[in-house]
Amino acid sequence: MKINTAEALIQNWTGRTDPETDSWRWHQKIQPVQAGSPAGVALIGFACDTGVQRNHGRPGAIHGPQALRKQLANLPWLQTAPLYECGDIVCDDGDLETAQQQLASHIAAQLQAGHQPIVLGGGHEIAFASWSGLAQHLAAAESQPRIGIINFDAHFDLRDPQCQAASSGTPFAQIAEVCAHKHWMFHYACFGVSRMSNTPALFNRADALGVCYAEDLQMTVPQLNLLQQRLDHFMQACDHLYLTIDLDVFPASQAPGVSAPAARGVSLEVIEPLLIQIRNSGKLRLMDLAELNPELDIDAHTARLAARLIHQMTLTQQ
Ligand SMILES: N=CN[C@@H](CCC(=O)O)C(=O)O
Ligand SMILES: [Mn+2]
Ligand SMILES: [Mn+2]
């Protein structure tokens, strides 16, 4: 495990500079986070594909944070909250568990400082670390925090960690185990899950754990209203939201740069309004983006899509 510091990474935030007034871009606004920085959005990288490798996927997500920052750098600045670079946790030695612990502590520290972290993955093993960071932070003030996990994903990622090493396929089952141990509710929604990409054993585990899910086939524009009602109902039962977006939820034509591209997928047309609903709920504490694999991307389509989602989620409610 190693750390890329915020001060080192800030040098990489370069891009176009325009002569007109009111033409700021992200690379001109981002600052390295410091103790006492006013509350803002805190970007943290998790450069890791050890979980994908353990899950027999295609490596490359370790380069995700760098590719994503490159696309974020040139976005026009429409945001109101300050934006901070907080560095990378790099898992370069196969020791996923240590890297996850480091990321969790880093996230908890940023939350404690009043920031809203956005974590740039990295394989979906990021989710166990992200949730653990939020849990650490909330446990300091609440005995039984009501956390809702919203995952946009073609997969449940509920593989049994008792039968296999922790990986990109196990994070939500790991979280369910920790919740059971702590007597916390496990409130998990998976939007976009595909019958073609999950065995019946995983659907059965989802049912046993009371997971709220919408299949890719149900996630169409005519169904959007119903999906919004279901999302609203899910969000009402919790106080804090952790949003995680596995980019393989999108059709392969929109997101080719992932380990396991979707044959069908769910279109941005449907996902974006749901994300805006989550943003506007006032309960979102933490989000991450998982599975961006620049080595498999085509003309950075997936990285651009991921950057758009981050842009959208950091806008103030209109
Ligand atoms: N995070 C990925 N999870 C999927 C990967 C599936 C695949 O590689 O085909 C899973 O374990 O089900
Ligand atoms: Mn997936
Ligand atoms: Mn996943």
CA nearest 51: which of 89, 88, 95? 95
pLDDT at 317 over 90: no
Task: Give the ligand whose atoms come closest to the C-alpha of residue 149.
Answer: 3
pLDDT tens-digit profile of 281-293? Answer: 999 999 999 999 9
Query: Is 130 contained in some domain?
Result: yes
- On whether residue 308 sits in a domain, the answer given is yes
pLDDT grade for 318, boundaries at 50, 70 and 90: low
Q: Is 124 in the pocket of ligand 1 (CB under 6 A)?
A: yes
Helix or strand holding residue 33 (H, E): none
Residue 51 binned pLDDT confidence (cut-offs 50, 70, 90):
very high
pLDDT at site 225? 98
Instruction: List the domain range (segments joined by +) for residue 270.
Output: 2-313
Average pLDDT, rounded, for the chain: 98
How far is the C-alpha of 236 from the C-alpha of 271, rounded, in Å? Answer: 19
Question: Is 36 a domain residue?
Answer: yes
Give 214-266 pLDDT, tens digit per residue.
999 999 999 999 999 999 999 999 999 999 999 999 999 999 999 999 999 99
- How far, in Å, CA of 192 to CA of 154, rounded? 5
For 66-114, what is each residue's pLDDT tens digit?
A: 999 999 999 999 999 999 999 999 999 999 999 999 999 999 999 999 9
* Ligand closest to CA 196: 1
For ligand 1, atom 10, the nearest C-alpha belongs to: 169
Domain with residue 83: its CATH number is: 3.40.800.10
Alpha-carbon distance of 37 to 16, in angstroms, equals 26
Number of domains in the chain: 1
Candidate of 49, 155, 157, 199 to mutate for ligand 1, largest count of ligand atoms within 8 Å of Cβ: 155
221 assigned to some structural domain: yes
**197 C-alpha to center of ligand 1: Å?**
8
The pLDDT tens digits for 18-44 are: 999 999 999 999 999 999 999 999 999
Residue 160 lies in a domain: yes
Question: What residues form DSSP beta bridges with 84?
Answer: 31, 42
The pLDDT value recorded for residue 312 is 98
Q: Which residue's CA is the nearest one to ligand 1's atom 3?
A: 169
With a pLDDT cut of 90, the percent of the chain lying above it is: 99
Residue owning the nearest CA to atom 4 of ligand 1: 169
* E strand residue ranges, 75-186: 83-90, 116-121, 147-152
Assigned domain for 18 exists: yes
Residue 318 lies in a domain: no
Which atom of ligand 1 is nearest to 198's Cα? 12
ipTM value for the complex: 0.97
